[in-house]
Amino acid sequence: MFHPATISLVDDHVLLRKGLADLVRNLGYTVLSEADNGEQFTEEISNTGRVPDIVLLDINMPRKDGYETALWLKNHHPDVKILALSMYDDENAIIRMLKNGARGYILKDSEPAELKAALGALITKGFYYSEMVTGWLIHSINHIDEPESATKNIIGLNEREIEFLKLAASEMTYKEIANQMHLSPRTIDGYRDALFEKLNLKSRVGLVLFAIKNGIVQV
């Protein structure tokens, strides 16, 4: 018998959360729990033992924000798939959430169709990254368990490009990366653009995902 995936919602904006909960139910999923913040959510899991398949997790919250909550889940319940929610398309926020274990990221003003696509992708593929990344990366994610895939993917990158990828996965600005690598900002822009073309990507988030999936950066 088919059992719909269970979903928990963690967001301090109550009206938005209630609307999301109704939408999730309309999409055929079971809402396991709702929480105002990460502290309430993690305490409920610890007290009840009820662990969702997916958590829709707001980033900016009082009392254990999305970053802390994602890291807690990664350490205690790594099988839970985290879909990060944010009001803003903030590159550094996305990168930090990915490194803390999030499997996807959508904006709060996204259309219901995108939420449906995101939840479906989390269940079937394990990841969701919308239009921020291209087909190459989706292929990489879908075949993450294939033997030697990491080795194949990083062939063709030189040491400086790999060093740049590691730094790009930090919260450093491109100017700070240039200083760290003792290169000019223009040269760093060249590295970035060359990697975009070589890897068929179009954002820093895509570069970070590539680095994570291919073991260049440990999360």
Read off the pLDDT of residues 66-86 as tens digits, 9 standing for 90 and up. 999 999 999 999 999 999 988
d(CA 141, CA 144): 5
Read off the pLDDT of residues 197-218 as tens digits, 9 standing for 90 and up. 888 888 888 888 888 877 788 7
Express as a percent the part of the chain with pLDDT over 70. 85
Residue 105: beta bridge partners?
84
CATH 1.10.10.10 residue ranges in the chain?
Answer: 149-213
CATH 3.40.50.2300 residue ranges in the chain?
Answer: 6-132
Encoded tokens for 219: 């999360």
Read off the pLDDT of residues 137-184 as tens digits, 9 standing for 90 and up. 445 444 444 434 444 456 678 889 999 999 998 888 999 999 999 999
Count Cβ neighbours within 10 Å for each residue of 138-157 and write b for 16 or more, e otherwise.
bebbeeeeeeeeeeebbeeb
CATH code of the domain made up of 149-213: 1.10.10.10
**Which DSSP string corresponds to 125-182?**
TS-B-GGGS-HHHHHHHHTTTSTTHHHHHHTT--HHHHHHHHHHTSS--HHHHHHHTT
Quickly name the fold that domain 6-132 has: Rossmann fold (3.40.50)
